[in-house]
Amino acid sequence: MAKICVPVCVRQTDGMADAIAAAARIGDIVELRADCLVDPHAAVSFLNESARAIERPLIVTMRSPEQGGRAQIDYQTRRGFWSALDHSNAGYFIDLELDMVQDFAGLESAELPVDWSRVICSHHDFTRVPDDLERIFELMAATPAGTIKIAVQADDALDCLPIFRLLNRAQAEARAIIAIGMGEAGLMTRILGPSRGSFLTYASLEEESGTAPGQLTAKDMREVYRIDHIDSDTQVFGIMGQPVGHSLSPRIHNTSFAAGGINAVFIPFEVRDSPEFIRRMIHPKTRELDWKVDGLSVTAPHKSTVMESLDWIDPAAREIGAVNTVVVQDDQLRGYNTDAAGFIAPLRKVFGSMKGARCAIIGAGGAARACSWALREQGADVTILARDIKKAQSLADRFGAKCRELSGAAYADFDVVVNATPLGTRGQLENETSATSEQLREVRLAYDLVYNPIETRFIREARAAGCEVLSGIEMLLAQAVEQFKLWIGRDPDIEVMQTAALLRLSPKA
């Protein structure tokens, strides 16, 4: 089983015991961050008196400010902290930066009777992946420390490759190692690291209590990503985009894998350069990582650019001009578009046949392309409206649709109005809408492709106008069902998918 270390970062020693107990209930190992304390030396007496009463293995850390410490504690103060601990009866691990390890390693054992097998020699870089990462590893490996820890900032999925190479090297050289990519782009190293030789991975007790960028909660590690079940045979799937941290796809697909008894994991991939990511990490003929990656979900801004890296593209996806699903099959990458099917399925439940239905699509991006194609295939009468009239006209010409100016538009002559813009998405755009209740009066159905939040301003305006409504969650789930079938070859449990998505979108989640 993977070892999950839960850090404890409190300001006062009064709350330390309770915080450690809470971390111990969900983690396999507890890390006490002494640099978080107002008075770090107050931890000395606590550790000397109470460390052995802690039910989980303990790592004690006093991080320097340069290495991510929470306080401006100088070298001598930190050195004094370590010297004051009763190492002869400790029973816990201590995490020391390389310079501190080299300092203490030069002392006579009587001056610092530390068990070097329980020392973690650590290096952190919160800005980048250093070019000399291998050299840093070699310097640390030359010390008597029992475990090497390297945590570096990953800004792109490709930044994880050097980290996985370190894990491979450490295994080959029989060196205990913790190797982590920090930040959203490093998430795969936290999830896959233990199955590839990392001594442990870090996760927070709560979403707000993380001590490093990109830390998941221990609960999500276990329940969403099922880290204890990941092994060398685990199929890897993921969503590539920028950004992807908001995506519900990991919860939907991982929950479906679990319900189906499938040894697979679905991971967010923060990707800047689609062709390079595909070449170096995904394509079976060129990838630099030995893993069983069998498929991808693709989101903005890569749905069109990914096409140049594929060996085969479904004719519908080629006509739409966008791929949102990649299947790895027989050393080839095959591209599909499940957005179109996902979009049309909820509409057909309401209308039955869409033939002759008057449909307005607001927006002219990738989502609008899939919607336009799907509606044309169903025989609907489609009109495109967008701020960029030239872009709207180009899309309309491509799919035999009409085009109108968006500014001041009225929709009384439409049966369906679709918001295919990001307006209303949780965050800065949350209070915006592409149409008001006044504009939507006499429209039968308003369909918002935004799914987070479920109740967008567009949906509220539509309800006020008396429209039937469909939220983006309907399309999200419908297209996810099609993806699952392409990857796994059978139907998922749709209710399981829906429950996973709605639980995350609930205000209480």
Residue 360: CATH number of its domain: 3.40.50.720
Among residues 285, 292, 303, 391, the one annotated as catalytic is: 303
Contact 458, 419 (CB under 8 A): yes
Residue numbers of the chain with a pLDDT score lower than 50: 110, 508-509
pTM: 0.92
Closest CA to 314 of 340, 330, 335: 335
Q: How far apart are CA 47 and CA 69, in angstroms?
A: 19
Give the pLDDT of residue 111. Answer: 58
Domain count for the chain, please give it: 3
Contact 145, 96 (CB under 8 A): yes
Q: Which amino acid is at 184?
A: E
Same domain? 317 vs 217: no
Is residue 476 included in any domain, yes or no? no
Same domain? 460 vs 490: no
Contact 235, 292 (CB under 8 A): yes
Structural domain of 365: 341-470
Q: Which amino acid is at 466?
A: G
Give the pLDDT of residue 60. Answer: 95
The CATH number that applies at residue 288 is: 3.40.50.10860
Is residue 13 included in any domain, yes or no? yes
Is residue 477 included in any domain, yes or no? no
Residue 466: φ, ψ to 5°: 85, 15
Same domain? 222 vs 270: no
Contact 258, 226 (CB under 8 A): yes
Sequence-ordered strand ranges (E) for 168-216: 176-182, 201-202
Is residue 475 included in any domain, yes or no? no
Closest CA to 335 of 377, 366, 303, 290: 303
Q: Which amino acid is at 74?
A: D
Same domain? 110 vs 76: yes
| Token duo for residue 284 | 């079976």
Q: Which of 166, 201, 232 is the last residue of a domain?
A: 232
Same domain? 162 vs 48: yes
| Token duo for residue 421 | 């813009």
Give the pLDDT of residue 49. Answer: 82
Q: How far apart are CA 421 and CA 426, in angstroms?
A: 13
For the question of residue 303 being annotated catalytic, the response is yes
Q: How far apart are CA 346 and CA 18, in angstroms?
A: 49
Summary mean pLDDT of the chain:
93
Identify whether 507 is preceded by a cis peptide bond (ω within 30 of 0).
no
Concatenating the DSSP letter of every residue in 238-279 gives EEEESS-TT-SHHHHHHHHHHHTT--EEEEEEE-S-HHHHII
Is residue 271 included in any domain, yes or no? yes
| Token duo for residue 175 | 């060196």
Is residue 330 included in any domain, yes or no? yes
Closest CA to 149 of 165, 166, 161, 135: 166
Dihedral sign for Cα atoms in the order 274, 234, 340, 406: negative
DSSP three-state, residue 19: helix
Same domain? 81 vs 210: yes
Same domain? 169 vs 308: no
Q: How far apart are CA 156 and CA 160, in angstroms?
A: 8
- Per DSSP bridges, beta strands 293-298 and 325-329 are antiparallel
* Cα 220–chain centre separation: 11
Same domain? 217 vs 256: no
Nearest 5°: the CA angle 105, 107, 108 is 120
Is residue 237 included in any domain, yes or no? no
Q: How far apart are CA 15 and CA 17, in angstroms?
A: 6
Give the pLDDT of residue 211. Answer: 64
DSSP three-state, residue 378: coil
Q: E strand or H helix at 47, and its extent?
A: helix 42-50
Same domain? 38 vs 125: yes
Q: Which amino acid is at 484?
A: F
DSSP three-state, residue 315: helix
Same domain? 154 vs 295: no
Same domain? 9 vs 131: yes
Concatenating the DSSP letter of every residue in 89-137 gives G--SEEEEEHHHHHHHHTS-TTTS---GGGEEEEEEESS---TTHHHHH
Beta bridge partners of 325: 297, 336
Give the pLDDT of residue 13. Answer: 86
What is the per-residue pLDDT across 55-92, written as a single tens digit (0 to 9) for each? 899 999 999 988 888 778 889 989 889 988 887 767 89
Give the pLDDT of residue 55. Answer: 84
Residue found under tokens 């189906």: 260
Q: Which of 184, 208, 232 is the last residue of a domain?
A: 232
Q: Which of 200, 232, 264 is the last residue of a domain?
A: 232
Number of H helices, E strands in the chain: 18, 20
DSSP three-state, residue 187: helix
Is residue 178 included in any domain, yes or no? yes
Residue 241: φ, ψ to 5°: -175, -175
**Distances from the Cα of 363 to the Cα of 15, 379, 383, 391, angstroms:** 52, 20, 10, 9
The CATH number that applies at residue 30 is: 3.20.20.70
Same domain? 218 vs 255: no
